[in-house]
């Protein structure tokens, strides 16, 4: 324990030191003669106890005690010369002395008890201090990454705005959201997810400037506040650094993980005055970044705002669309390429929004996938299409044995491990042969498909249901997938027939189509050409010997009722 004695009187100094040295403890004792020397000593090192002579205190007008206390270096005990100075003692205590001792009462045991008390107090103070800073850390810090948390971020944002207003400087708010983090968390486990978040936090810390504030807002969302923004180019500079640091793969448990990040930027004063407004703008820009393919930075603009708000509204409305019965199915005929007789129909979903009218499936299906509604919608499509098809079959509508009903499924639906079992149940329920059903999966959606997805496809094929690779030619892994997965039908994307008319001169497209057809024939896969609209296109497809055709030339997608009255169906009836 370290003790400092500050006393002008050398004899008194020695007396106190002697008393301390006669206890059972060993103290480290420093002795000073003046207040100035005492203060210097206290500033140089920490003491557990300071014994201060009363006259020195009087000389400083009680200031000395404040200074000693302010240094938080030790507990000050004032030594008084006379026993009768009760009032003085009270005054000292009021000023901040921890205790007082009358000089004539200084004995080893009395000083030892004061020293022990000082030690005990210091220990308790230390514990209190630690728990206070722990509480503060909890309130201000994110426990996983040790970055500032949302609470501190909100304070920082308010303060930053106030400073920017006062000093007339710019400020930027960047909201960052990791792409597909949920998938990683779900597939690799939360432990891995946590480690990744910690690594990302460390990397981001290295990218920000000294005065910038980096926070974790929660989940996989981070924010950066750039104060004193002299030039907007600094934002570009920072985002480039962020993308660069994220490009390096993260290694967790020996597994290489590639993470990307979507960034939305809002600036003060450009995007608004208030903290909430700025945050909303940055969120909207981030949302747009996700929407337009992720792994990019989007600066807030009012155009973006309008577009995103429309999307957000649509997403909200999509939640109630099934229960409000706003969906219905259209059916588009497919014809035999040679005879041009109807030999199948594709069910295509339609959403009739109560205010916005018809919304294209190309717009709302990706939305439904994003907000995890696709499985509910997909189930509704299966049941509605099966029920309708079953009704037609029981009405003895002239469907031949090889007539098929095609249903589109999203790759996310194939992630449901029990999809095949449910399809089997619906087939039984609606009394439909599996061979009369085709399930269409788009090529692009399969590219990121998991192993689970392949298993479900195999189970479906095992039921006897045909699998059809939709929009063939728009993805990359076509050949591999055709070989590895049990597809029995290939639907050539409509973009190919579209270019038939355009490059009639060179006929490159026709050559390409010929190649696809040859490949399909070798693999014993049936072919459907989508999007046929003209006679030229049909003639080329017939010459190339495709199996089926589908397109506006024959019929648009139509309601069940319209199909019942369609000329294609009447032709079939007439032939019967
Ligand atoms: P898809 O499965 O490739 O369907 C063909 C799309 O091409 C349909 O658009 C159809 O109306 C359109 N089409 C047909 N013939 C022609 C033509 O001659 N010319 C042109 N330009 N277009 C033609 P639709 O109905 O808007 O559907 C778009 C996409 O939305 C579908 O493409 C499919 O991927 C998806 N989709 C539709 N219904 C469902 C569904 O129930 N579930 C899922 N998961 N996706 C669906
Ligand atoms: Mg389709
Ligand atoms: Mg298609």
Q: Where does 2-139 sit in CATH, by number? A: 3.40.50.2300
pLDDT for residue 72: 59
Report how far ligand 2's centroid is from the alpha carbon of 203 (Å).
Answer: 43
pLDDT for residue 164: 92
pLDDT in tens, 5-26: 998 889 988 998 999 898 888 8
pLDDT for residue 233: 86
3-class SS at 493? coil
Residue 349 alpha carbon, nearest atom of ligand 1? 38
User: Which of the ligands is closest to the CA of residue 348?
Assistant: 1
Which residue, 370, 461, 351, 383, is CA-closest to 410? 370
Report how far ligand 1's centroid is from the alpha carbon of 408 (Å).
Answer: 9
Report how far ligand 3's centroid is from the alpha carbon of 283 (Å).
Answer: 34
What is the distance of C-alpha 538 from the center of its chain?
47
Which residues make up the CATH 3.40.50.2300 domain(s) of the chain?
Answer: 2-139
What is the distance of C-alpha 291 from the center of its chain?
13
Report how far ligand 2's centroid is from the alpha carbon of 512 (Å).
Answer: 21
Confidence of residue 82 (pLDDT cuts 50, 70, 90): low
Which residues make up the CATH 3.30.70.270 domain(s) of the chain?
Answer: 150-300
Q: Which residues have CB under 8 Å from 226's CB, separation 6+?
A: 171, 172, 173, 174, 209, 212, 234, 235, 238
User: Which of the ligands is closest to the CA of residue 380?
Assistant: 1
Is residue 191 within 8 A of residue 185, CB to CB? The reply is no
Q: Which residues line ligand 1 (CB under 6 A)?
A: 332, 348-349, 360-362, 365, 381, 408-410, 440, 442, 470-471, 494, 530-533, 550-552, 557
Q: 150-300, superfamily in CATH?
A: Reverse transcriptase/Diguanylate cyclase domain (3.30.70.270)
Note the helical H segments in 8-59.
10-21, 35-44, 54-59
DSSP 8-state symbol, 352: E
Mean pLDDT, residues 40-64: 82
Q: Where does 322-575 sit in CATH, by number? A: 3.20.20.450
Angle 20-23-28 from CA coordinates, rounded to 5°:
45
Looking at 35-114, which runs of residues are DSSP E strands? 49-53, 75-80, 99-102
Question: Which amino acid residue places its CA nearest to atom 7 of ligand 1?
Answer: 531
pLDDT in tens, 174-203: 999 999 898 888 778 888 899 999 999 999
Confidence of residue 282 (pLDDT cuts 50, 70, 90): very high
pLDDT in tens, 440-461: 998 777 766 667 888 999 999 9
Report how far ligand 1's centroid is from the alpha carbon of 348 (Å).
Answer: 6
Confidence of residue 145 (pLDDT cuts 50, 70, 90): very high
Which residues make up the CATH 3.20.20.450 domain(s) of the chain?
Answer: 322-575
Mean pLDDT, residues 492-521: 82
> What's the per-residue H, E or C state across 232-280?
CHHHHHHHHHHHHHHHCCEEECCEEECCCEEEEEEEECCCCCCHHHHHH
Does residue 269 have a cis bond before it (omega within 30 degrees)?
yes
Which residue, 541, 459, 458, is CA-closest to 500? 541
pLDDT in tens, 339-378: 999 999 999 999 999 999 999 999 999 899 988 899 999 9
pLDDT in tens, 303-333: 777 877 888 889 999 999 988 999 999 999 9
Question: Which amino acid residue places its CA nearest to atom 10 of ligand 1?
Answer: 557
User: Which of the ligands is closest to the CA of residue 332?
Assistant: 1
| Mutational pocket test of ligand 1: of 348, 381, 384, 467, the residue with most ligand atoms within 8 Å of the beta carbon | 348
| Mutational pocket test of ligand 1: of 330, 350, 361, 383, the residue with most ligand atoms within 8 Å of the beta carbon | 361
Residue 329 alpha carbon, nearest atom of ligand 1? 41
Report how far ligand 1's centroid is from the alpha carbon of 83 (Å).
Answer: 101
pLDDT for residue 283: 93
Question: Which amino acid residue places its CA nearest to atom 42 of ligand 1?
Answer: 408
Report how far ligand 3's centroid is from the alpha carbon of 143 (Å).
Answer: 48
pTM above 0.85, yes or no: no
Rounded to 5 degrees, what are φ and ψ at 493?
Answer: -60, 150
CA dist., res. 326 & res. 342, Å (int): 29
Answer whether residue 220 shows pLDDT above 80: yes
Question: Which amino acid residue places its CA nearest to atom 45 of ligand 1?
Answer: 408
Rounded to 5 degrees, what are φ and ψ at 521?
Answer: -65, -40
Rounded to 5 degrees, what are φ and ψ at 12?
Answer: -65, -40
């Amino acid at each position: 324990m370290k003790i400092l004695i500050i006393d002008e009187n050398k004899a008194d100094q020695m007396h106190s030191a002697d008393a301390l040295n006669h206890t059972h403890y060993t103290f480290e004792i420093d002795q000073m003669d003046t207040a100035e020397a005492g203060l210097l000593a206290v500033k140089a090192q920490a003491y557990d106890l300071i014994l201060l002579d009363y006259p020195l205190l009087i000389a400083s007008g009680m200031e000395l005690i404040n200074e000693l206390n302010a240094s938080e270096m030790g507990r000050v005990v004032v030594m008084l010369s006379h026993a009768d100075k009760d009032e003085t003692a009270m005054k000292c205590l009021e000023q901040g002395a921890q205790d007082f001792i009358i000089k004539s009462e200084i004995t080893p045991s009395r000083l030892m008890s004061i020293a022990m008390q000082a030690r005990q107090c210091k220990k308790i103070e230390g514990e209190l201090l630690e728990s206070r800073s722990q509480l503060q850390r909890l309130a201000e810090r994110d426990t996983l990454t040790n970055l500032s948390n949302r609470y501190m971020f909100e304070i920082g944002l308010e303060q930053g705005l106030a400073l920017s207003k006062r000093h007339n400087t710019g400020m930027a708010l960047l909201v960052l959201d990791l792409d597909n983090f949920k998938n990683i968390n779900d597939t690799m486990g939360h432990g891995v997810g946590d480690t990744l978040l910690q690594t990302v936090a460390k990397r981001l810390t290295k990218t920000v400037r000294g005065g910038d504030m980096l926070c974790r807002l929660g989940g996989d969302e981070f924010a950066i506040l750039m104060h004193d923004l002299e030039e907007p180019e600094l934002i570009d500079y920072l985002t480039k650094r962020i993308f660069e640091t994220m490009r390096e793969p993260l290694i967790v448990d020996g597994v290489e993980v590639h993470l990307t990040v979507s960034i939305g930027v809002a600036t003060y004063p450009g995007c608004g005055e208030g903290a909430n407004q700025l945050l909303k703008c940055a969120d909207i820009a981030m949302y747009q970044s996700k929407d337009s393919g992720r792994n990019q930075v989007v600066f807030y603009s009012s155009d973006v705002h309008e577009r995103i708000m429309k999307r957000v509204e649509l997403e909200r409305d999509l939640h109630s669309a099934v229960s409000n019965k706003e969906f219905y199915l259209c059916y588009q005929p497919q014809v035999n390429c040679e005879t041009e007789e109807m030999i199948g129909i594709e069910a295509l979903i339609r959403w009739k929004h109560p205010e916005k009218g018809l919304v294209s499936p190309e717009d709302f299906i990706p939305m439904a996938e994003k907000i995890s509604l696709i499985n509910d919608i997909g189930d509704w499509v299966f049941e509605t299409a099966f029920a309708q098809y079953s009704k037609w079959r029981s009405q003895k509508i002239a469907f031949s044995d090889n007539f098929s009903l095609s249903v589109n499924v999203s790759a996310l639906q194939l992630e449901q491990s029990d999809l095949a079992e449910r399809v089997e149940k619906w087939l039984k329920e609606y009394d439909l042969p599996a061979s009369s059903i085709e399930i269409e999966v788009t090529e692009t959606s399969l590219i990121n498909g998991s192993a689970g997805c392949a298993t479900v496809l195999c189970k479906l094929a095992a039921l006897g249901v045909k699998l059809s690779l939709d929009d063939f030619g728009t993805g990359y892994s076509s050949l591999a997938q055709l070989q590895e997965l049990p597809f029995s039908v290939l639907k050539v994307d409509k973009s190919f027939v579209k270019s038939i008319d355009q490059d009639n001169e060179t006929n490159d497209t026709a050559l390409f189509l010929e190649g696809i057809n040859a490949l399909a024939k070798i693999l014993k896969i049936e072919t459907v050409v989508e999007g046929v609209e003209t006679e030229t296109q049909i003639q080329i497809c017939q010459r190339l010997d495709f199996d089926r055709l589908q397109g506006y030339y024959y019929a648009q997608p139509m309601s069940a009722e319209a199909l019942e009255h369609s000329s294609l169906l009447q032709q079939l009836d007439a032939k019967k």
